[in-house]
Structure 1
Amino acid sequence: MAAETEPAAAAASGLAGEMEVEAYRRLFPLAFLERHLGESVRPDARRLCEARPTTVALGAVSSAHGSALVRLGDTAMLASVKLEVMSPPAESPDEGSLAVEFHMPPICSPLVRPGRPVDVAPVISKALEDVLMSSGVLNLKQLCLISGKASWLAYLDIYCLNVDGSLFDAALISAVAAFTHLEIPLVSIGDDGRLFTVGGNEGKTKFELVNREKRKLTLGNIPFSLTCALHKDSILADPTSEEESVIETYVTVVVDSSDRIVSIQKLGGAVTSMEAIKECISLAKERRRKLREILTDSVEAMEVDQTE
């Protein structure tokens, strides 16, 4: 009888131990994190310099001209690009335009309340637009239809489906992936002089087309980013929400596909040493190579699906 109770007692002891660890984690999150950092490991068992698994699925929204679903650990982003015909700006008659909006619906986090704007959303929207324009990944001249008369306005909408840290990094790769998937539709001129999109082979024969075939954008140097959390002497790549909640200093580095630095942004905390910044840049370049492989694999997977 005693032998039978030993496994039950051990299980109860193990459960009690797990409950104590979880209680300590919730009550003293910073001390819990620092105990792990002292052993050069993260609470989720990652190495300090290790980013979370990342997946990219192209064509996630059938009604969009370009779309992608990205998962960065438990952070999930859905990006879509819709094109509309517009009159080009007077100062750039041979170019199209880009409008970016980052959305955080209540479904993404218990902290987001219906009807209450999230302060970080417009900040990420502006940062994304700045990076996409300054990196040169988009050539707005490719969005011109008729010089001085008509061009495309690209609406980029990014919806955060789940929050678990590194929101900007996940949003940027989803935006890049959506533009990689983007296919510019056929356009014709109606009897009233207005431009409209047409679809299918029948559209090609019935209407006089402005652009003769659907085409992809030719992207320039593609930007990729990595956010690092800095705590004392530790640098944590791709922090989770748990880590972000107790660490005050963050550095986000954006590099392009040629390893050129597009931007460096530091948020919060004390003055950061140059050595720490250099380490963040080095980690961002390593991350860029991995993300480039993931994006290339997603394009190849989509092409295989289309041929089957």
Structure 2
Amino acid sequence: MATPTVDPSRPSPPETLLARLLDKTLRRSAALDTESLCLLAGKSVWAIRCDLHILSHGGGLLDACCVAALAGLLHFRRPEVSVEGEKVTVYSAEERAPVPLSLLHLPFCVTFSIFGIRQGEEEVVLLDADRAEEGVREGSVTVGVNRHGEVCQIAKLGGREVDALELLRCVGVAEGRAKVLDGIVRRRVGEEERRRDGGVGKVLSAENER
């Protein structure tokens, strides 16, 4: 659905690479506090799965998917539970308010496209390239970083060589970009939470009045 160049009947190499980079950025960076998902040690845990459905691919797919995944995890609420000995009780939304996941930080993917120009001149590095620009680039660098400047991953998958100083400049730009994205995602999710909590409050109030 996203692009005619991808066969939806089976995973394509770009799709596999996308999933691997997202896994490295989100799961391996310990963005989600997995200990908070434990109910009974060695027996019961919450299983969290994040599915992304791409409707349109106009470029910057990895970065967009990372933002979507983080927004989804931040917005998600799981049922409240209580544990007494070996007994686990899961409460409905009407009985107890669902609780958010424990996210320790939000690591964003920031991708730079690299273009070579005339010999002897510096290369051109472009942030947030569209699909047409990605089709003619000679390489790319993806930096996974959070608003605190903590680098979670750097992916340089073949293509044109990148000077070490240029790579450091990319990391610096990515840090600034992550701060902006972090603020936008938290603000918009917060706005949606207030709307949602207001709706839940009205439902619970109506139930009590009955």
Aligned equivalents of 2:193, 2:80: Cα separation in 1: 21
Matched, 1:303 2:193: yes
- Per-residue CA deviations over 1:173-225 (Å, capped at 9, x if unaligned) read 11111110111114589xxx996854243xx4xxxxxxx75211221121012
With the length of structure 2 as denominator, give the TM-score of the two structures. Answer: 0.81
Which SS does the other structure have where 1:283 is aligned? helix
Aligned counterparts of 2:183 and 2:107: Cα–Cα separation in 1: 13
* Residue type of the alignment partner of 2:106: I
**Matching of residue 279 in structure 1 with residue 172 in structure 2:** no
- In structure 2, what is the equivalent of residue 181 of structure 1? 75
> Are 1:241 and 2:125 an aligned pair?
no
- Which residue pairs with 2:153 in the alignment? 263
TM-score (norm 1): 0.57
Q: CA deviation at 1:278?
A: 1.5
- Opposite residue 192 of structure 2, the aligned amino acid is M
Unaligned runs of 5+ in 2: 117-122, 200-210
- Map 1:62-211; keep pairs closer than 5 Å: 107-187=1-81, 197-201=90-94, 204=95
Separation in structure 2 between the aligned mates of residue 146 and residue 279 of structure 1, nearest angstrom: 46
Does the 8 Å CA contact 2:37/2:45 hold for their aligned counterparts?
A: yes
Identical-pair percentage: 29
Matches within 5 A, 1:7-46: none
- For residue 108 of structure 2, what is the aligned residue in structure 1? 224
Q: Check whether the contact 1:229–1:235 (CA below 8 A) recurs between aligned residues.
A: yes
**Letter matched to residue 216 of structure 1:** P
CA shift in 2, pair 1:269/1:172, >3 Å: same
- Return the letter of the residue paired with 1:248: E
Cα RMSD between the aligned structures?
Answer: 2.3
Q: How many residues align?
A: 190
Distance 1:259 1:188 in 2: 37
**Which has the higher Rg, Structure 1 or Structure 2?**
1
For 1:153, what is the secondary structure of its paired residue?
A: coil
Instruction: List structure 1 runs of 4+ shifted beyond 6 angstroms.
Output: 193-196
Cα distance between partner residues in 2 of 1:296 and 1:199: 26
Q: CA offsets, 1:18-41, max 9 Å, x none?
A: xxxxxxxxxxxxxxxxxxxxxxxx
Contact kept in structure 1, 2:39 and 2:88, CA below 8 Å: no
Q: 2:156 and 2:109 mapped to 1: Cα distance?
A: 13
Deviations 1:6-58 (A, max 9, x none): xxxxxxxxxxxxxxxxxxxxxxxxxxxxxxxxxxxxxxxxxxxxxxxxxxxxx
Distance 1:223 1:114, change over 3 A: closer
